[in-house]
Amino acid sequence: MKKVMTLLLVLVIFTTFTSNLLAIQISPRDNDEKILIQNGLAKENLEALSNIDKEQLIENLKKDKSKVQINSVIMEIDNLAEIEAFMSRSRQELIESGADSDKVDTTRKELERFSTLSEEKLAKELNTSIAEARYIKRAIEQGRNMSNDNQPKEIKEQEIINASGSISSTTLTYSQAVTNLSTATRPIYKVNVAYTWNTVYALSIYSDAIAACWGGGLVTSGISSAAAYYDSTNSSFASYNKTISMTKEETIQAGIKFRFPQAVMPKNPAYPTSKTRNGSATFTIYQLQKQGYATQVASRYCHRSIRLESTSISFSTSPTVSINVGGAWDTSAQRISTISY
């Protein structure tokens, strides 16, 4: 009996000690996320980064913050212009431009249904204002009435401003972090990029991309990526669905593109779709020996719009580093960090 009591006492002490130890380990990690925000990471992207990536960034910032460059930017998408452009194009045009045929059919059916609802009913369904519902119906009608030979007309800026913004436009927050892990003889840099949609984008018939490039002919290793999808209404993200790996396309010693669908099948059939809410990618670039030069790392988020223009994404690495995109993309401003190699 004494042995049993002793064993129970030891177990209680061990459990208490373990719980306290875990509390000590977890609490600083939560507090340390403030370090990331103070050094340039948008707070919206805390969830987008993996715990391992956040811990490594925090650790490196504590060691020497001069070796970690983080900067963020906000990109805005005009949902009304997207709706108008979609309705002005034929099914065949959209499919030939790379759109998913099933998503085209589903989207058109949904927008046509919206056009039959009163402003009051549409506002209630989308959980938005009557003013925004009016602009959505107007965008559908204007797009429907336009000739396919004409470019979609723009909704007047004042009309967009008059709406509350939750439906008329949406924003994405994008961040880039570049950590200098170089040795005395070898240049090594770890690159983290992350995005978060702050509100739901209206249409999702294509794939998006994250593009990154660099100079100096550095090679890549340790590439990983993840895009998280949430079942969505037409006005908000709902429950988590799944996370997938992005497809990657490398331009050797120059750049990399990560591609992922704007939407996937919903987990819950009660929702019309499941859109990407956030995601991240990471990779390391390095050389076997330092050469004594400086160059840059650049990246940007590329959101495919309903413009039937060039879908190209190309890299320039000399004399300046830049990501060049065709007119079919809405993009964030480039995030640029200087590195030595």
Q: Is the pLDDT of residue 322 over 80?
A: yes
Q: Which residue has the higher pLDDT, 21 or 38?
A: 38
Output the six-digit token pair for 240: 């988590």
Output the six-digit token pair for 5: 């009591």
**Is the bond preceding 269 in cis, omega lying within 30 degrees of 0?**
no
What is this structure's pTM?
0.85
- Predicted pLDDT of residue 234: 77
- Predicted pLDDT of residue 192: 99
Q: For residue range 235-286, what is the model confidence (pLDDT) as tens digits?
A: 889 999 999 999 999 999 999 999 999 999 999 999 989 999 999 999 999 9
Average pLDDT over residues 53-57: 98
Kindly report the backbone phi and psi dihedral angles of residue 252, in degrees, each rounded to the nearest multiple of 5, phi listed first: -50, 130
- Predicted pLDDT of residue 48: 98
Torsion of Cα atoms, 161 then 163 then 165 then 170, to 10° = -80
Q: Which residue has the higher pLDDT, 151 or 206?
A: 206
- Predicted pLDDT of residue 296: 98
Give residue 126's pLDDT band: very low, low, confident or very high (50, 70, 90).
confident
Q: How far, in Å, CA of 273 to CA of 276, rounded?
A: 10
* Residue 229, burial from CB neighbour count under 10 angstroms (0-12, 13-18, 19+): buried
- Predicted pLDDT of residue 56: 98
Which CATH entry fits the domain spanning 68-74+170-340: 2.60.40, 1.10.3470, 1.20.272, 1.10.10? Answer: 2.60.40
- Predicted pLDDT of residue 28: 37
- Predicted pLDDT of residue 1: 44
Q: Lowest mean pLDDT of 85-94, 123-132, 222-231, 245-254, name the range.
A: 123-132
- Predicted pLDDT of residue 319: 86
- Asked whether 178 and 188 are in contact (CB, 8 A), the reply is no
Q: How far, in Å, CA of 305 to CA of 303, rounded?
A: 6
Q: For residue range 162-197, what is the model confidence (pLDDT) as tens digits?
A: 344 456 889 999 999 999 999 999 999 999 999 999
- Predicted pLDDT of residue 78: 94
- Predicted pLDDT of residue 29: 64
Average pLDDT over residues 226-230: 99
Tell me the average pLDDT of the chain.
88
Average pLDDT over residues 101-126: 94
- Asked whether 221 and 286 are in contact (CB, 8 A), the reply is yes
3-class secondary structure for the chain?
CHHHHHHHHHHHHHHHHHHHHHHHHHHHHHHHHHHHHHCCCCHHHCCCCCHHHHHHHHHHHHHHHHHEEEEEEEEEEEHHHHHHHHHHCCHHHHHHCCCCHHHHHHHHHHHHHHHHCCHHHHHHHHCCCHHHHHHHHHHHHHHHHCCCCCCCCCCCHHHHHHCCCCCCEEEEEEEEEEEECCCCCCCEEEEEEEEEECCCCCCCCCEEEEEEEECCCCEEEEEEEEEEEEEECCCCEEEEEEEECCEEEEECCCEEEEEEECEECCCCCCCCEEEEEEEEEEEEEECCCCCCCEEEEEEEEEEECCCCCCCCEEEECCCCCEEEECCCEEECCCEEEEEEC
